[in-house]
């Protein structure tokens, strides 16, 4: 890969300042960025490691909210959120493989917003709040299309706060070579209604399936979805699955998520 200057600040302020230089990019756990750089699809001039920034690691729970620090690894979320938000912990424990989960971070995943990543569905499905060094961004405003987010160049995800639903489940149809979701659905049942977030399926990245949300908010049973079909025209089509196949999977995985929600 092309060379770059490596910097490892210890405060959010230093990291944000370093990101303002031309060609600078933030580095979380690097489990997507390093393979991307090896292929020279990314060539930052300065790489700003966030793993040394203080106060951005760990999982805490209070008043029905689980808050995860931006540089918390998937393995930590899988272990530390297991009692407070089991569906979130289960999702984290299905990302990649054990070595990837020991490095990859929630902030890195959400900042990259891969259209087949798992975490965006948990954030959007839970109605999470994404906190940065500048502001709090509602998940509904944060995801803006494939690899696109509301983040500015020097903005760093410091933590993510998830309202804990009454019941939730993430169902992932695994693409076994990449271990990303061929299609994954996060269903969360709150007192005020149900949220359904779909990853891996759409050309626009993670999205809410509002028709399913309306049906499930009236009746939280898989049968409530039997007559619903999602339009395939904006779905991803690749060698792993056609648009029609992914549209079908959205329905199947949503029903499975409702049946397994706890």
The CA–CA distances, whole Å, from 177 to 74, 96, 174, 180, 248 equal 19, 10, 9, 8, 21
Contact 77, 107 (CB under 8 A): no
Count, residues near another protein per rule CB under 8 A? 26
Closer Cβ to another protein, 34 or 82, answer by number: 34
Tokens of 249: 């999977």
Q: Rounded CA gap, 163 and 183, in Å?
A: 24
Using CB under 8 A, which residues numbered 138 to 197 contact another protein?
A: 177, 179
x/- mask, another protein, residues 107-146, rule CB under 8 A, reads ----------------------------------------
Grouping H, G, I as helix, E, B as strand and the rest as coil, residue 208 is strand
Closer Cβ to another protein, 47 or 253, answer by number: 47
Kindly indicate which of the ranges 43-51, 61-69, 206-214, 228-236 contains the residues binding another protein, using the contact rule CB under 8 A. Answer: 43-51
The yes or no reply on residue 99 touching another protein (CB under 8 A) is: yes
The yes or no reply on residue 55 touching another protein (CB under 8 A) is: no
Using CB under 8 A, which residues numbered 56 to 75 contact another protein?
A: 75
Closer Cβ to another protein, 75 or 157, answer by number: 75
Site for another protein, rule CB under 8 A:
1-6, 8, 30-31, 34-35, 37-38, 47, 49, 51, 75, 96-100, 102-103, 177, 179
């Amino acid at each position: 890969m092309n060379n770059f200057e490596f910097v490892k600040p210890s405060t959010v302020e230093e990291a944000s300042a370093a990101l303002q230089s031309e060609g600078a990019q933030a580095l979380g756990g690097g489990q997507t960025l390093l393979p991307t750089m090896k292929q020279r699809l990314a060539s930052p001039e300065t790489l700003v490691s966030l793993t040394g920034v203080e106060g951005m690691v760990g999982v805490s729970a209070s008043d029905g909210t689980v808050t995860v620090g931006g540089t918390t690894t998937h393995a930590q979320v899988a272990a530390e959120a297991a009692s407070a938000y089991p569906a979130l912990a289960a999702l984290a424990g299905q990302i990649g493989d054990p070595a990837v989960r020991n490095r990859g971070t929630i902030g890195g995943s959400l900042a990259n917003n891969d259209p087949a990543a798992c975490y965006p569905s948990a954030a959007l499905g839970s109605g999470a709040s994404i906190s940065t060094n500048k502001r709090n961004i509602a998940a509904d405003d944060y995801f803006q299309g494939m690899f696109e987010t509301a983040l500015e160049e020097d903005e760093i995800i410091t933590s993510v706060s998830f309202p804990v639903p009454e019941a939730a489940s993430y169902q992932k149809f695994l693409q076994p070579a990449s271990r990303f979701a061929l299609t994954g659905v996060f269903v969360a049942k709150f007192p005020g209604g149900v949220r359904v977030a779909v990853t891996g399926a759409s050309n626009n990245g993670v999205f809410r399936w509002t028709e399913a949300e309306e049906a499930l908010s009236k009746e939280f049973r898989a049968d409530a979805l039997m007559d619903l079909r999602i339009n395939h025209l904006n779905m991803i089509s690749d060698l792993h699955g056609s648009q029609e196949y992914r549209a079908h999977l959205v329905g199947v995985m949503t029903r499975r998520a409702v049946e397994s929600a706890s």
